[in-house]
Amino acid sequence: MVSNLQNLFSDMANNSKRSAIREILKLTQQPEIISFAGGLPAPESFPIDDLKEIVNRVLYEDGAAALQYDATEGLKELREVLVKRYQNEGVECALENLIITTASQQGLDLLGRVFLNPGDTVICGLPSYLGGINAFQTYGAVMTGVPLDQYGMRADLLEEKLKELIQQNRKPKFIYIIPDFQNPAGITMPEWRRLQIITIANQYDILIVEDSPYREIRFEGEHQPMMYQLDNTGQVITLGTFSKIVAPGFRIGWVLAHPAINDKLVTSKQSADLCTPTFVQKIAAKYLKSPRFEVNLKYTIDLYRLRRNIMLEGFRQYMPDGVSWTEPEGGLFLFVTLPEYIDAEKLFFRAIEKKVAFVVGHVFFADGSGKNTFRMNFSFVNEAQNREGVKRLADAIREEMEAYQLQKGKKTVAVN
């Protein structure tokens, strides 16, 4: 072994950080822990029997081609199905607008490769998806946050931030937004707010990256039009994935973008993995064409609605005063805000002692704030674990509040 590996690693490798969520998950592997930490779909939603049949069909009907390399842009059959689905929603797009990636996380990485130089600025929400933050920071991006309200990223604060950055000669490369059931906040951005942000992006000539992994998992309220659809000028890049609507093990995602952008993404992807697995793409294409896809998607939506409702009922029943939370219309997460004096990281370890886990909120804030927040996943655990886990968590929060009050009282006595 060489004497100093650190000196050999590239700047990009040294910029890379282990996912805080993945590290936290190591502490939750004990079988008795009820974990609301991972962004995990319900295993019950995986269409195992459907896929067994489709896998056999692919091997029987098209085995040699399925096991061969295919185009870096992705399997034409799969791209055509996805484009048709978007067109049926009223989205103006063609085959040249869509490429397949190895899940949407690769799409985020490729966007970093294509657009970012060390020191470039990217705007994101406060809070925002940790995987996006990490992907862009790996390429040396400086993440600059804009707070959210109940409608998503605040347009007024976005414009203020853009003016400030441009005065500093730091014009951002793009604005990173998760408009539907945002991770981690669970908030959905209404159409009028999407239009406000698109107008600002057009005015300042800045791209928007619309990360949309949860959009089809809506169980109440009205579907909102995609930002890509509302813009229709090529200024919005949209990421999609099968991870939440079929299974994360597929590792299939896609990018919907202007052909000039896709050309650069394809070139970068060629040096990353040559192509997304052909076999899995063929399975995905056949499954999307099957009526069973919509049947299973409806089952998934109904299951997640039930589990969200159970979690919200538990919160309303057990949580002490001073705790607030979002009530998402879809997706996999809700976000909890504690009184400012409670440190969610300290609470995490108290919760682990009670055999329940969550993800601390500050990891989702590019500016390091959010220390009194945490994220809850409601899709993974079953109904009984959901109820019990929320009860344990409420007990941990109550104990943390009591410990703070006790310590505060001791300090007051000492001063007197």
Do 250 and 331 belong together in one domain? no
**Which of 238, 270, 290 is the endpoint of a domain?**
290
Do 118 and 189 belong together in one domain? yes
pLDDT bin (cut points 50, 70, 90) of residue 7 is confident
Give the H/E segment covering residue 134: helix 130-138
Q: Which runs of E-coded beta strand occur in 131-196?
A: 142-149, 152-153, 174-177
CATH number of the domain encompassing residue 336: 3.90.1150.10
Cα of 398 vs its chain's centroid, Å: 30
d(C-alpha 177, C-alpha 179), whole Å: 6
Give the domain range for residue 68.
Answer: 48-290
pLDDT bin (cut points 50, 70, 90) of residue 25 is low
| Contact between residue 140 and residue 11 where contact means Cβ atoms under 8 Å apart | yes
Structure confidence by residue, pLDDT tens digits, 75-123: 999 999 999 999 999 999 999 999 999 999 999 999 999 999 999 999 9
Do 204 and 82 belong together in one domain? yes
Angle at 268 between CA 122 and CA 9, to 5 degrees: 75
Do 264 and 303 belong together in one domain? no
CATH number of the domain encompassing residue 278: 3.40.640.10
Angle at 135 between CA 131 and CA 139, to 5 degrees: 160
Do 323 and 259 belong together in one domain? no
> How many independent structural domains does the chain possess?
2
Do 55 and 165 belong together in one domain? yes
Which positions ≥6 away from 86 have C-beta within 8 Å? 93, 98, 256
Cα of 62 vs its chain's centroid, Å: 34
Structure confidence by residue, pLDDT tens digits, 322-359: 999 999 999 999 999 999 999 999 999 999 999 999 99
